[in-house]
Structure 1
Amino acid sequence: MKEELKIYLYRLWPVLLLVVGVPLLSFLIWLLIPSKQLEVLVVDKTVRDESYREHAGLFWTLQHQKYKKKTGETYVTGRDYFGFFPNGKADYGVTKDLNGRSQDELRKLVSDSDLVYFADTYGVYEADFDDSTRDERSKKIYGGMDKADLELVRLAEEEGKVLVAEFNSIASPTPTAIRNEFENLMGLKWTGWIGRYFDELDTLVNTDIPSWMIRQYQRQHERWNLRGPGLIFIRDSGQIEAFLYQEDYGNQVPLIRTQKVNKHGFKLPEVVPYPDWFDVVMIERDYEVISYYDINPTNKGLQRLRAMGLPRFFPAAVVRHLDGGSQYYFSGDFSDLQGPFGATHFFGLPVLWKGLYVATDYTDRQSFYWNYYYPLIRQVLKKTAQEKKAG
Structure 2
Amino acid sequence: MKRIFTEEFKVSFGRLLPFLFILIFIPLFSYLLWIVYPAKEMEILVIDKTVPTDSYREHHALFWAFDHMKIQNQAGELYDEGKDYFGFFPDKTPSYGTSKDIRQLSESELLKTASILDILYFADTYGVFEDDFKKVDSEEISKKIYGGLNRGDINLLREVAAQNKTIIAEFNTMASPTSVGIRTEFENLMGLKWTGWIARYFDEMDTTVNSDIPKWFISQYVGQHENTWVPAGPGIVFVHENGSVEAFSNGLDYFGETPKIRTQRINQHGFKLPEIVPYPDWFDIVLIERDYQVISYYDIEPSELGKEKLRNMGLPRYFPAAVIKDVGKGTFYYFAGDFSDMQNSIGSPRFTGLPMLWRGFHLVSDYTDRESFYWNYFYPLLAQILEKTYEEKQSD
Q: Give the TM-score normalised by the residue count of structure 2.
A: 0.97
Q: Which runs of at least 4 in structure 1 moved beyond 4 Å after TM superposition?
A: none
Q: Give the conservation status (yes or no) of the 8 Å contact 2:59–2:81.
A: yes
Q: Give the conservation status (yes or no) of the 8 Å contact 1:128–1:134.
A: no
1:92 partner letter: Y
User: Could you say what secondary structure the match of 1:99 adopts?
Assistant: helix
Sequence identity (%): 55
Q: Give the conservation status (yes or no) of the 8 Å contact 1:231–1:242.
A: yes
CA–CA separation in structure 2 for the residues paired with 1:297 and 1:376: 27
Cα-to-partner distance string for 1:161-198 (whole Å, 9 max, x where unaligned): 10000011011110011111110000010001000000
Pair 1:128 & 2:132 matched = yes
In structure 2, the partner of 1:288 is 293
User: Could you say what secondary structure the match of 2:103 adopts?
Assistant: coil
Q: Give the conservation status (yes or no) of the 8 Å contact 1:136–1:211.
A: no
Pair 1:260 & 2:269 matched = no
Cα-to-partner distance string for 1:255-278 (whole Å, 9 max, x where unaligned): 000000111111111100000000
Residue 135 of structure 1 deviates from its aligned partner by: 7.4
Q: Give the conservation status (yes or no) of the 8 Å contact 1:186–1:327.
A: yes
CA–CA separation in structure 2 for the residues paired with 1:7 and 1:125: 62
Deviates more, 1:136-145 or 1:315-324: 136-145
Q: Give the conservation status (yes or no) of the 8 Å contact 2:137–2:215.
A: no
Cα-to-partner distance string for 1:62-87 (whole Å, 9 max, x where unaligned): 00000001101110001100000001
1:220 partner letter: Q
In structure 2, the partner of 1:236 is 241
Equivalent pairs counted in the alignment come to 391
Picking from 90, 99, 106, the partner of 1:102 is 106
In structure 2, the partner of 1:77 is 81
2:376 partner letter: N
Cα-to-partner distance string for 1:134-158 (whole Å, 9 max, x where unaligned): 7763111110000111111111110
Pair 1:224 & 2:195 matched = no
Pair 1:306 & 2:311 matched = yes
Counterparts of residues 1-391 of structure 1 (less than 5 Å): 2-133=6-137, 137-221=141-225, 222-391=227-396
1:155 partner letter: E
CA–CA separation in structure 2 for the residues paired with 1:134 and 1:93: 22
CA–CA separation in structure 1 for the residues paired with 2:157 and 2:90: 25
Segments of structure 1 that go 5 or more residues without pairing to the other structure are none
1:71 partner letter: A
User: Could you say what secondary structure the match of 1:265 adopts?
Assistant: coil
CA–CA separation in structure 2 for the residues paired with 1:259 and 1:132: 42
Residue 132 of structure 1 deviates from its aligned partner by: 3.1
Q: Give the conservation status (yes or no) of the 8 Å contact 2:86–2:101.
A: yes
Cα-to-partner distance string for 1:262-296 (whole Å, 9 max, x where unaligned): 11111111100000000000000000000000001
Cα-to-partner distance string for 1:285-343 (whole Å, 9 max, x where unaligned): 00000000000111110111011110000000001001120110000000000112121
User: Could you say what secondary structure the match of 2:297 adopts?
Assistant: strand
Segments of structure 2 that go 5 or more residues without pairing to the other structure are none
CA–CA separation in structure 2 for the residues paired with 1:331 and 1:324: 23
Residue 215 of structure 1 deviates from its aligned partner by: 1.1
Please, what is the CA RMSD of the aligned residues?
1.2
CA–CA separation in structure 2 for the residues paired with 1:100 and 1:337: 28
CA–CA separation in structure 2 for the residues paired with 1:134 and 1:374: 34
Q: Give the conservation status (yes or no) of the 8 Å contact 1:255–1:274.
A: yes
User: Could you say what secondary structure the match of 1:132 adopts?
Assistant: coil
Residue 207 of structure 1 deviates from its aligned partner by: 0.8
